[in-house]
Structure 1
Amino acid sequence: MTTTTITTAARELREGRSLVEPDLFHRLVQRVAEEHDHDLNMAARVVDQALAFLGTSATHHGRPLSPSEEVDPGWHEFILHTVDYAAFCEQFAGRFLHHVPTDPQDPSTQGKSAHEAIQYTVDAIAEAGFYVDTDLWPTAHSVACSQCHQGCTSSTAP
């Protein structure tokens, strides 16, 4: 018989969903499922990671963070809930967290730089104490783009 011991650090990891009320989380999950053709389980994972990303972005003081292509729809759908999104931003960041598109012609947002941006973001989320669903944060060097079809980062400007 094998016994698995869960470390204290693993037990203390937060989920992004813990940052919002369950009702809002479920509304966002439903929206992601409907708009992005995900089952409810996948939509919940996407929203959870988008919230972890935003929670980290709210207090991160390094270079801008970038969502993965898989996580970005969760951010997009949250932004559409403008009242809830603005309240979240005020509560956790003390300011609005802007969704800043990057120039798709900028080579620094492609290839190796995209991989580095995702890895930097994943590291920041983990350092902030959130669980990272690695399936939704591809970090292979084959990643072509770190963001959505238009590209985006969180803003660090007030």
Structure 2
Amino acid sequence: MTNTVEELTGQGLIPGELFGRLVNRIAKEHGMPREFAARIMDQALAFLRACGERHRAPLGPSELVDIGWHTFILYTREYASFCERVAGGFIHHTPNDDGMSGTDPEKLIARTTEAIRSLGFAVDDELWLTFMVKCSDGDDGCRASGKDGNENTDTNGK
């Protein structure tokens, strides 16, 4: 008998009804099959869960996974509640129009997918292959917002 460990899914982090609404929005707005949109949303949720952990270096989504993050942010109440539950505070999305200076995109994606895997989540490697780092998870790794929700206030007691 072989013991197998079942990997977690990002989809399991939110109610099915909300997941369905997010997937439908992605499919409609980006003209893609619902199944592909579901994969994107699943990975975005797993990424955000990884952002809830302390990391020495920042994490960042692939271009495709970022679509899921953008979509979830539109549902502000649900997104804020999710962030509080998985990260203990709001996870701000910080666009980085000039790219992350000094950050090797391949290393960033490798670090991010390893963080997701380390929590037991499945990584859909195809969604992490081609990317452009257009955003970061905050200057202090995913926890860029203060206790009051103001991204300009301290989060880590520095």
TM-score w.r.t. length of structure 1: 0.82
User: Could you tell me which residue of structure 2 aligns to residue 154 of structure 1?
Assistant: 137
1:144 deviation in Å?
A: 6.5
- Which of the numbers 9, 12, 17 marks the counterpart of 2:11? 17
Q: Which runs of 4+ in 1 moved over 4 A?
A: none
Aligned to 2:75: 81
Are residues 1:132 and 2:123 paired? yes
Instruction: Determine the structure 2 residue equivalent to 1:100.
Output: 94
* Aligned-residue CA RMSD (Å): 1.8
Comparing 99-108 with 83-92, greater Cα deviation is found at 99-108
1:8 aligns with 2:18: no
| Greater share of residues in helix | 1
Once residues 71 and 18 of structure 2 are traced to their aligned partners in structure 1, the CA distance between those partners, rounded to angstroms, is: 11
CA contact (8 A) 1:108 1:114 kept: no
Aligned CA distance change for structure 1 residues 65 and 42 (closer, same or farther; 3 Å): same
Superposition pairs of residues 45-84 of structure 1, within 5 angstroms: 45-84=39-78
The residue that corresponds to 1:118 in the other structure is: 109
TM-score (normalizing by structure 2): 0.82
Aligned length: 141
Any idea what SS the aligned residue of 1:123 has?
helix
Deviation by residue 1:51-106 (Cα, 9 ceiling, x = unmatched): 00001111233311100011110000000000100000111111000001224165
